[in-house]
Structure 1
Amino acid sequence: MRAIKQKIEPLQFTHPTLQFYPLFSLSPQFSRISDHVKRVTAFSNSGLCETSPVRPPNTMADSFNLPLRPILDHNDRPDTLPVEIAQINSQWGSFRDVNEEVLRKKIAEEKDKNGIDEEQSEDATDLDSTERVEQLYKRRADITQFAMQAHMETLFALDFVSLLLSKQLPRQAETSMSAFLKQVAPLGSLNAEAVNPPPKPESTVKDISAVSRGWRIQNFNGAANKLLQAASRLETEVTSETRYWNEVLAVKDKGWKVSRLPRERQALGVQFGFLEATPVFRDRGLASLRRAEDGSLLLDKGLVPSKPRFVRVRVLQSGRLSGCSQSTNPTFSGEETIEGRILQARDTVFEEELFHELFREAKAIAGFGVTTRQNLIQIPASEDLEILLDLVDVDRNHLEPDHGTSKEGNSIAEGLAHTIRILLAYAHRQHLQRRTLLPPPLTPKKRTIPEHQLLRPALAYVQHMSHTQWLQSLLRDIFGVLQSAHISPPAYTANIFSTAQGTASQVPTVEALIESFLTPFESNFKGKLSTPRGSFSISVSTNLSLPPYGTSFDVSFEMPTHPDLKSPGSLSQREEVEAAVTHLLLLDVVFAISSDESPRKQPESKDSGAWEATYPQHGELLLSSDPLNRKKMKIKLSRHELSLEAYTVRCFNGTGLGKKEDPIESESRTWKSSNTSQSLMDHVREITPHKQ
């Protein structure tokens, strides 16, 4: 307040109606308040405040309450030993100066002081308690009155200063003015001016002028420097922005979709993923286009891995690695263009979605022997063929050794890798077509998303190819054995993957080809036999999408000479098919032997007999020349050899049942595919007896 008074004294105030109060006589009042507070505190500590309250008729005490007892700060923590030693040193000095005499003298002084205090307390207790209570309330009223007076004088000073400042800062000063002052005095009605300032010496004026000029020059230089820095920064910013937007336009001209980010409207993003993918990978297909310090474009891929990854296909033949697929994506390097990074991010997201869908489908077809691990899918394609699928980095795949692989295994691995990728793209297109159709009616049941058919068609193709190759190998071996015996094998035609040829339809050619690939695979083998009007047909069908799962062989034949024989029908095991085909061709060989008439055309074999097929299903023929001792022939056919055994039997009731009578005369002959000696028919003619 004294500082305010010293600043205001040289000022002249002019206002027609404003009256001022004595504002600067507050220090005596505050000193008197402090004296009364000390006295009241002493009375309150003596215990007189706990008596019944006697409230004097004082309205000011009702409106203003003041606590009488001070707040005591109790220290719960005892002082540590170092602190106590420091206190003893500061109070008594060194321990060497402390002796018994000094301590006794200090104790005597304390007793004398306590005696004086006791006498004063005894004098104070002599006063009447009623007088003390009255004196307490009187001094309390005095404290309240002085406090209220100080409060009012402070408010008057605040109003005065606020009104004085309202000339220059009306809004700020209005916040600290009282409501009464706002009503009686308008804002800015009080002003202060210097009256007759003392003259300044010329040296001071020159110094002030020089300092002012220096400050102005320094401010101008600072402003110029800031403007130059702002200009250079603006030029750099314009260059960076120009480069950034040029690269953004280049990305858009390449065909990529550029839009604002849904959760960050101030940033741009590029859509490199597939909108028809599952929601998890569809959301990951959007990356923000950030700007670097130099203005170059940065692709913030978010959850996309920094290294490119792909689904690797490996083929194991008899437990040995025979083929492995390779990635077509180049290894990522920091010098790639923004388009290359976008392509790498797109391919990586596609490969991760592909492996995710393969993993889902592998769990659904676990009944086919497919097993899954953390990052590996094992598929038993055939008896000696196993396929492994895993998600690896491109760099890791380059480190894998290539020795031990074969061309056939690599072609199977590459074909399977391309197949599953084409099927996933086809699934995306089918999802787009379903979204364009009318939505199905709402149902309380939640519709489940079926697994994409990626593994099943590819696995069915591999299995069907394996079964057809096995059947072709079986017919090739059996026909080779028949050719070694100089027997003309039946001609047959093979129509491999007949369903893949398809028919004309309205869908595009690519979709028609894939749809034919998703249908069950079929292959047909048809041929004619040596038996008149005889024919056979073998149909191989593979289906892993609908029951019955697996591959089935439908074997059927027509043999009018054996009307009691029926076709075996649908078979599922290779052993059954091999037995049916071998038995069918055995019947054809038996018929060829029984229908051979070349021995009868010779003049010396006029009375010679002919071989009669008694039990053709067992490959047994009987010579009808001797009614009692007949010669019997037994033929066995397999994919590796053709064996013939002839021996003499005793006839019972005109049949060839009996036991061997002349085992020495038993003759046997074997033909294999590598043996091209005497033909079967010539050997039959040789073992056929002739009558002279």
Structure 2
Amino acid sequence: MGDYTGTLPSSLQPWDQTSSAPKSFANVLGRIYAERGHFRDITESSLQDELTTTAIAGPSSPSSTFSDVEGDDGPSASKDARPRAEQLQAARREVIQHIVSAQNETLLALDFVSLLLSKDLKQAESSMSPILKQSVPTGSLGMDIWKGMPEDTERLKTDELLARGKRLDGLKGAADGLSRAEERLRETVEKERRYWDGLLGLREQGWSVCRIPREKGGLGVRYGFTEAMGEFRGRGLAALRMGTEGEVVLDKGLGREGKGLRVRIMRGKEVVGESRVKQTDDDEADVGRRIKMARDSLFEEELWHEAMREGRELGSYGIRLRGDTIIIPASHTEESLNETSAHETIEIDLVSTDNHYNPATPDPTANSIATALRLLLSHTYRQRLEQRSQIPPPLSANKRDRPISQIIRPLLSHLHHRSATTALQTQLSALTALLGKAQIKMSTSTSSSLPSLSDTTSTKSLMTSLTTRPESTTTIDLTLPSPTASRSESFNITTTTSFSPPFYGTSFNLGASHLQREQRTSSLQELLQHVHLLVSSYLTVSAAEYFSGWTADRRGRKVVRPRGLEVRGDSGEEVEVEVEQEDGEGGQGLALRVAYGAQVVRWVVAEDGEERAWSEVMGEIAAKAR
């Protein structure tokens, strides 16, 4: 509490305290600072003035001091300008606060002593406060007197040695810990170096290393194709983890067991050709090869998936789905003349590369078909990229259908076209052999609108060859004998195969110089009938040159005697010339028949037919007809 001496009434002034104990210099300095403020305000002149004033005024009395406090110009009035009543209330509150604090300290000391004595004296419980009795059990605090132990020099030395040993042991443990931490740090740095070197190697190999979405700090490789469909595009991202030795590990075991597309050529139930499926390398292969295997497997799966989707829409062209296998007919038509090729099919399925065994000698045709399918899927990716780079169509509420990839259709077009041209060449070869029996020269030449693989120099030209509608033209040249001089006739057959509008399937166009329009058909049997009729008409014109005055009926395929000419003996009125088709495989049933009255001459491909030349037979018949 502050010093109120000289400001309070005499009844409230504290007693004078006189102590003989000398006061410290620090106490004196504190009192000077409290009375006069900072030392910078105390000067020798101010102290001298104060002493002079005090000597003149004389000693002050309590009553005069009290009267000075009553005035307005006293020194205390400048310190506290509050009303007298407020000053008294403040002093009273401060005195009461100190009294309460002293009482509280006294009660706490009483509780402590009572709790300490309650262990031995039960009467001490009566002086304990109720709160202490509820909080602490009585007799729970005890005391004892300990005598100071004498100083033991040996024990101090032992303690000092123990402390030094403990410190040395702690320093050794800290050194060992630092060594282990340094070793772990070195191993971690080495693992990090190997990991980042592996990532850099993948970048140098051309792989796209990127962050993994929704995984903080994770890195991955994007090995899929950006133009793949949604379910396959999402699978084209894999995490690149750090292995136990710091090597880059492909996440989820990718690249260890893949899928591959297999193409088999079936003849009935017998496998006559099988493509090669890329095998899975061992588990110790580097991560770059494993990423490549995972990419190839994903590509093969999407290829099989797109082929299955397209095959469901081509059922009307003989394509069947049996489980996970796509069955494509190798022949262009079910009415093929070759019974063996009619049962030849191509089966496409997806196999595991882990437990698949390739044939000792893969079939070149099956390998070519598998390669063509992969090229067509790559072409589909390129088309999607070009479409995505164009201006998008206007927004519409109608959901656009997912387009069907053109993978099987081009393959089917080329297979059917090859089958159709092969069957046509077989029949034309039989016809050439038949006319050769009669010493009539016939030659065929075939040209294609598509360039050959040996002439293909760019990827674009190769894809154009695969996706363009195949078309070939076969030119047939006939050298017809005559009594005077031989003459030549020619006609051509254009074969076109397509499974896109406006053509569906294989069509044949037969054209000749004397025909008003081309004969178009989609049946090989019907085409051969037209060819036989056309050749018969050419032979009819050739036969008419041996008969003087006779006319050639090209439509009826006969040489007719004009009216007015006499008929001698049993001679006929006409000579029939016809190329006819009988039962037989590969054109073996072809025959060239010439009939004049009862005389019939037949040339056949077999050895038991007519052996004479056409000109000789026509000369003989002409001699009879005269």
Tell me whether the two structures share a fold, i.e. TM-score over 0.5.
yes
Note the 1:166-565 alignment, pairs <5 A: 198-199=148-149, 202=152, 205=156, 208-301=159-252, 304=254, 306-327=256-277, 329-382=278-331, 383-398=342-357, 400=359, 402=361, 410-489=363-442, 493-496=445-448, 498-499=449-450, 509-527=458-476, 536-559=491-514
Aligned to 1:634: 576
- Choose the corresponding residue for 1:669, options 595, 598, 602: 602
**Alignment match, 2:85:** none
SS at structure 1 position matched to 2:527? helix
Shift in Å at residue 525 of structure 1?
A: 2.8
Q: Distance in 2 between matches of 1:378 and 1:149?
A: 101
CA distance in 2, matches of 1:571, 1:234: 82
- Check conservation: 2:301, 2:350, Cα contact below 8 A: yes
Per the TM alignment, residue 567 of structure 1 is displaced from its structure 2 partner at its CA by 5.0
2:618 pairs, out of 684, 687, 690, with 684
The residue number in structure 1 matching 2:35 is none
Deviation (angstroms), 1:151: 9.2
Q: Which residue of 1 aligns with 2:51?
A: none
Q: Which amino acid in structure 1 is aligned with residue 194 of structure 2?
A: R
Shift of 1:414: 1.4
Matched, 1:590 2:566: no
Q: Which deviates more, 509-518 or 537-546? A: 509-518
SS state of the match for residue 364, structure 1?
Answer: coil
Cα distance change, pair 518–667 in 1 and its aligned pair in 2 (3 A):
closer
C-alpha change, 1:626 and 1:262, in structure 2 (3 Å) is same
Name the structure 2 match of 1:70: none
Q: What is the letter of the counterpart of residue 412 of structure 1?
A: T
Query: After superposition, what is the alpha-carbon deviation per residue over 1:218-264, rounded to whole angstroms, capped at 9, x for unaligned?
Result: 33332222222111111111111111111211111122111211121
- Secondary structure at 1:398 match in 2: coil
- Structure 1 residues 453 and 691: alpha-carbon distance in aligned structure 2, compared to 1, 3 A threshold: closer
The equivalent residue for 1:96 is none
Deviations for 1:580-619, whole angstroms, at most 9, x for unmatched residues? 111111111111101236xxxxxxxxxxx555435x4443
Say whether the 8 Å CA contact 1:487–1:680 is kept in structure 2.
yes
Q: Distance in 2 between matches of 1:523 and 1:200?
A: 124
Give the aligned residue type for 1:426: H
AA at the equivalent of 1:543: S
Q: How far, CA to CA, are the matches of 2:177 and 2:314 in structure 1?
A: 72
CA separation of 1:253 and 1:474: change in aligned 2, threshold 3 A: same
Report deviation, 1:389: 0.7
CA contact (8 A) 2:194 2:247 kept: yes
Normalised by the length of structure 1, the TM-score is: 0.62
> For the residues of structure 1 that align with 2:267 and 2:422, how far apart are their CA atoms?
15
* Residues 484 and 150 (structure 1), Cα distance of their counterparts in 2 relative to 1, 3 Å cut: farther
Whole-angstrom CA distance in 1 between matches of 2:327 and 2:203: 42
By how many angstroms is 1:197 displaced? 8.3
Change (3 A) 1:542 1:294: same
Partners in 2 of 1:592 and 1:333 — Cα distance? 73
CA distance in 2, matches of 1:431, 1:612: 65
User: Residue in 2 aligned with 1:644?
Assistant: 593
CA distance in 2, matches of 1:16, 1:519: 112
Among all aligned residue pairs of Structure 1 and Structure 2, give the percentage whose two residues are the same amino acid. 29
Q: In the alignment, is residue 573 of structure 1 matched against residue 528 of structure 2?
A: no
**1:408-431: CA deviation from partner (whole Å, max 9, x where unpaired):** xx2221111111111111111222
Q: What letter is aligned with 1:687?
A: I
Structure 2 letter corresponding to 1:323: G
Q: Which residue of 1 aligns with 2:559?
A: 621
CA–CA distance in structure 1, aligned partners of residues 610 and 189 of structure 2: 90
Query: Would you say the 8 A contact 2:266–2:346 is kept in 1?
Result: yes
Give 1:461 deviation, angstroms: 0.5
Matched residues in 2 for 1:580 and 1:587: separation? 11
Q: Judge conservation of contact 2:603–2:610 (CA < 8 Å) in 1.
A: no
Q: Would the aligned equivalents of 2:417 and 2:497 in 1 still touch at CA under 8 Å?
A: yes
How much has 1:152 moved relative to structure 2? 9.7
Task: Within 5 Å, give how 1:69-108 maps onto structure 2.
Answer: none
Q: Distance in 2 between matches of 1:642 and 1:417?
A: 42
User: In 2, distance between residues paired with 1:429 and 1:275?
Assistant: 10
- Cα separation, 1, equivalents of 2:355 and 2:426: 39
| Amino acid of the structure 2 residue aligned with 1:297 | V
Which residue number in structure 2 is paired with residue 87 of structure 1?
Answer: none
Counterpart CA distance in 2 for 1:351 and 1:429 is: 17
Larger Rg: 2
User: CA distance change for structure 1 residues 588 and 261 in 2, over 3 Å: closer, same or farther?
Assistant: same
Deviates more, 1:309-318 or 1:580-589: 309-318
Q: How much has 1:369 moved relative to structure 2?
A: 2.1
Per-residue CA distance 1:99-129 (angstroms, 9 max, x = gap): xxxxxxxxxxxxxxxxxxxxxxxxxxxxxxx
What is the CA-CA distance between 1:579 and the residue it aligns to? 0.7
Q: Distance in 1 between matches of 2:268 and 2:224?
A: 39
Task: Tell me the residue number matched to 1:10.
Answer: none
Superposed CA RMSD: 3.8
Q: Deviations over 1:120-147 (max 9, x none)?
A: xxxxxxxxxxxxxxxxxxxxxxxxxxxx
Measure how far apart 1:516 and its partner are. 4.7
1:356-402 CA distances to partner (integer Å, 9 max, x unpaired)? Answer: 11111111222222222332111112133311111113354425565
Residue 418 of structure 1: SS of its match in structure 2? helix
Contact 1:315 1:322 in 2 (8 A): yes
Q: Does the aligned pair in 1 maintain the 2:441–2:478 contact within 8 Å? A: no
SS at match of 2:425: helix
- Distance in 2, Cα, partners of 1:279 & 1:533: 62
- How many Å separate the matches in 2 of 1:437 and 1:391? 34
**In structure 2, do the counterparts of structure 1 residues 200 and 215 end up closer, same or farther at CA, with 3 Å as the change threshold?**
farther
Q: Distance in 2 between matches of 1:679 and 1:671?
A: 13
Give the Cα–Cα distance (whole angstroms) in 1 for the partners of residues 352 and 256 of structure 2.
Answer: 10
Structure 2 unaligned regions, length at least 5? 1-100, 119-128, 139-143, 332-341, 481-486, 582-586
Distance 1:307 1:582 in 2: 58
The answer as to whether partners of 1:377 and 1:389 remain within 8 angstroms in 2 is yes
- In the aligned structure 2, how far is the partner of 1:26 from the partner of 1:428? 93
Q: Aligned pair in 2 of structure 1 residues 451, 482: CA closer, same or farther (>3 Å)?
A: same
Letter matched to residue 540 of structure 2: V
State the one-letter code of the partner of 1:679: A
CA contact (8 A) 1:623 1:630 kept: no
Matched to 1:390, the amino acid is D
Match of 1:143 in 2: none
Measured in 2, the distance between the counterparts of 1:195 and 1:512 equals: 111
Question: Is the CA contact (8 Å cut-off) linking 1:483 and 1:673 kept in structure 2?
Answer: no
CA distance in 1, matches of 2:496, 2:115: 113
- CA deviation string 1:253-293 (max 9, x = no partner): 12211121112131211122211111222222222211111
2:438–2:613 contact (8 Å) kept in structure 1: yes
Preserved contact between residue 484 and residue 673 of structure 1 (Cα < 8 Å): no
- Residue 217 to residue 516, structure 1, CA distance change in 2 (3 Å): same
One-letter amino acid of the structure 1 residue matched with residue 379 of structure 2: Y
